[in-house]
Amino acid sequence: MRRISTDMPNNDIQFYLQKQQEKLSNIQSKIAEQTKIRELRDDPLAASHAVRYESYLARLERFEKNTLYAKDHFNYTDTYLRQANDLLQRVREISVQGGNGLYAPEDMKYMAVEVNELLRELVGLSNTLGPDGRQLFGGDKAFTEPFRIVEGTVEGGGETMVVRVEYRGAGANRHAEITDRVYSTLDISGGEAFWAENMQIFSNFDASNYRVTEAGAFYVDSEEITVTPGDTIQGIVAKINESGAPVKAYVDPSTNGLVLEGTNPHFIRMEDREDSQVLQDLGIIVANADSGAPNWNPTARVAGGSAFDMVIRLRDSLFRGDYEFIGTQGIMGIDMALNNVQTRLADIGSRQERAVMTWQRLNEEIPQVASALSRESSLDFASAATDLGMMEFAHKATLQTASKILPQTLLDFLR
């Protein structure tokens, strides 16, 4: 016959009371944390879905922040490019007045003084700081002024004036991820926005017998172009033309040297990779210890000016009273600068519109994903409150029953 210990009722009641307390504590914790999944065993399938939704929602929220930053950045860039466009329009008006041959030389000098002030303002616009403290047109050299004024004397000017504006910026390499593996280019560098002519670089090095001796690479407008031993000048030209760089390459038939020409107005940036010196060997650049734009080889011929060059050329012709030059090449140079600025404005406008449309799409998608996440992991408070009330009632009833069943005194035990 099995012997029943007097401890067994006590142990059984304590065991089931502890299980009730665990369930009660679990539902209270879920209510406090506002989730129905505290552990994977609560609902493994819902937990796996919730993890995926949380990860995707976090990415969408990051993309939304990126698109907002891009929108603000494009708005700011658009504002300053429009100011540059208005300023160049004023310079063009002066050039039309100076080129009609109706003004006296003294009046044309007054026009030249105004153009000089407009030139300084244009340089100021090109060196604008963005709201984040970075150079707006500095490209990836965010804390270096892209343009530097060189002052000197101008014939007929009578005072120190701007004689040259040097470009020290870099390329527009900053990108923002606005959707999965889809990026928007944030910047327009000063070498793009404030240029006027298609740049040309002519090397005087005879490359007819040139052969690459070691594997390496060089960069043209941030596009990496790799070379292998045995590559000839024709092979290098083909690789440049097949790259995504906005540059056309060919061999000069008279000098057999490499020629590079921009397909649109911009400053062509070229540099050798650290383990290579192909461009140096071809007479395009020289070793440059500075971190700025590469130094052109002194023997190379470089053509294609910036918007500042066009304004300086117009101003100097006004000082000389050369209305014929003003009415032809002077106006033409300002028109080229204006056309490029307006093209860049259109480019910024298209990027801005894309960012707005992406932001709108994300704002529709984020609530949908958040709703799916809530469906999988959020707690039904009405059901949870009902369950909590039932558990508390059952727990109190169990305690009351246990107090009546369990012997509490020696007389109860003897009886």
The answer on 310 and 291 residing in a single domain is no
Single out the residue in 366, 393, 408 at which a domain terminates.
366
Quick one: pLDDT at residue 75?
92
Determine, yes or no, domain membership for 23: no
Three-state SS annotation for the chain = CCCCCCCHHHHHHHHHHHHHHHHHHHHHHHHHHCECCCCHHHCHHHHHHHHHHHHHHHHHHHHHHHHHHHHHHHHHHHHHHHHHHHHHHHHHHHHHHHCCCCCCHHHHHHHHHHHHHHHHHHHHHHCCECCCCCECCCCCCCCCCCEEEEEEECCCCCCEEEEEEEECCCCCCCEEEEECCEEEECCCCHHHHCECCECEEECCCCCCCCCCCCCEEEEECCEEEEECCCCCHHHHHHHHHHCCCCEEEEECCCCCCEEEEECCCECCCEEECCCCCHHHHCCCEECCCCCCCCEECCCCEEECCEHHHHHHHHHHHHHHCCHHHHHHHHHHHHHHHHHHHHHHHHHHHHHHHHHHHHHHHHHHHHHHHHHHHHHHHECCHHHHHHHHHHHHHHHHHHHHHHHHHCCCCHHHHHC
Q: What is the pLDDT of residue 145?
A: 87
**Which CATH number characterizes residue 127's domain?**
1.20.1330.10
Q: Does residue 227 lie within any of the structural domains?
A: yes
Same domain for 237 and 139: no
* Residue 245: CATH number of its domain: 3.30.70
pLDDT at position 2 over 60:
no
pLDDT above 70 for 406? no
Q: What is the structure's pLDDT at 372?
A: 76
The per-residue pLDDT for range 158-199, each reduced to its tens digit, is 677 888 998 887 776 778 888 888 888 888 888 899 999 999
Q: Tell me, yes or no, whether 221 and 290 share the same domain.
A: yes
Confidence class of residue 25 from pLDDT cuts 50, 70 and 90? low
pLDDT surpassing 90 at residue 238: yes
Q: Do 146 and 172 share a domain, yes or no?
A: yes
Examine the domain organization and report whether 238 and 357 are in the same domain: no
Query: Can you tell me the mean pLDDT for 81-99?
Result: 94
Q: Say if residue 66 is in the same domain as residue 190.
A: yes
Q: What is the pTM of this model?
A: 0.77
> What is the band of 398 on the pLDDT scale with cuts at 50, 70, 90?
low
41 within domain boundaries: no
Mean pLDDT, rounded, of the chain:
83
Same domain, 162 and 218: no
pLDDT tens-digit profile of 308-358? 999 999 999 999 888 889 889 999 999 999 999 999 999 999 999 999 999
Asked whether residue 217 falls in the same domain as residue 283, the answer is: yes
Number of domains, the chain:
2
Question: What are the pLDDT digits (tens) for 240-256?
Answer: 999 989 999 999 999 99
Within-domain flag for 259: yes
Is residue 386 in a domain? no
The answer on pLDDT for 283 being more than 70 is yes
In a domain, 343, yes or no: yes
Are 171 and 312 in a shared domain? yes
Q: Is the residue at 129 inside a domain?
A: yes
Do residues 62 and 177 share a domain? yes
Evaluate whether residue 40 is within a structural domain. no
Considering the domain architecture, whether residues 311 and 283 belong to the same structural domain is answered as: no
- Residue ranges making up the domain that contains 145: 53-195+305-366
Same structural domain, 148 and 224: no
pLDDT at 292 over 70: no
* Res 233: pLDDT: 94
